[in-house]
Amino acid sequence: MECPKCGSSQVKRLPPSQISPHPGYQCGECGIKMRSSGMLFVYLLTLLIGIAIGAVMVYMLIEEDGGNRPFQAAWLGAAGLIVAGYSVMQIARPVPRPQPKTDEVE
Ligand SMILES: [Zn+2]
């Protein structure tokens, strides 16, 4: 794989994080972070779920005062927004270029 920014082949896979088992890659040359190319759909789905959770919790807090568990509702709402934000960050990241072959057919 190659870095889309500086063209370096020093692209390392990032270790799994608490949020995602496939957090993506980082360039060892310029430090830019990239997402796994096959993860776009997963992040889009995560984004939708995060937004849905956040929206429901915000709605509950406003309309029902969080029911009888306002703190839990607020925490879940915040978690949903964090997950949504994380997904947006990942989607916005570039994808590493596949290693160019010397004599590429096609
Ligand atoms: Zn780079």
Q: Per-residue pLDDT tens for 6-24?
A: 999 999 999 988 877 888 9
Query: 62-86 burial, b for 16+ CB within 10 Å, e for fewer?
Result: eeeebeeeeeebeebbeebbebbeb
Separation of CA 39 and ligand 1 centre (Å): 20
Number of separate domains in the chain: 1
Separation of CA 32 and ligand 1 centre (Å): 6
Domain limits at 65?
A: 11-92
Token match 């997904």: residue?
A: 87
Q: Per-residue pLDDT tens for 48-104?
A: 999 999 888 888 878 876 556 677 788 888 899 999 999 999 999 999 998 766 655
Residue 3 lies in a domain: no
Residue 60 lies in a domain: yes
* pTM for this model (two decimals): 0.72
Separation of CA 84 and ligand 1 centre (Å): 26
Separation of CA 24 and ligand 1 centre (Å): 14
Separation of CA 61 and ligand 1 centre (Å): 44
Q: Residue 26 — very low, low, confident or very high, per pLDDT cuts 50/70/90?
A: very high
Dihedrals phi, psi of 33, to nearest 5 degrees: -100, 140
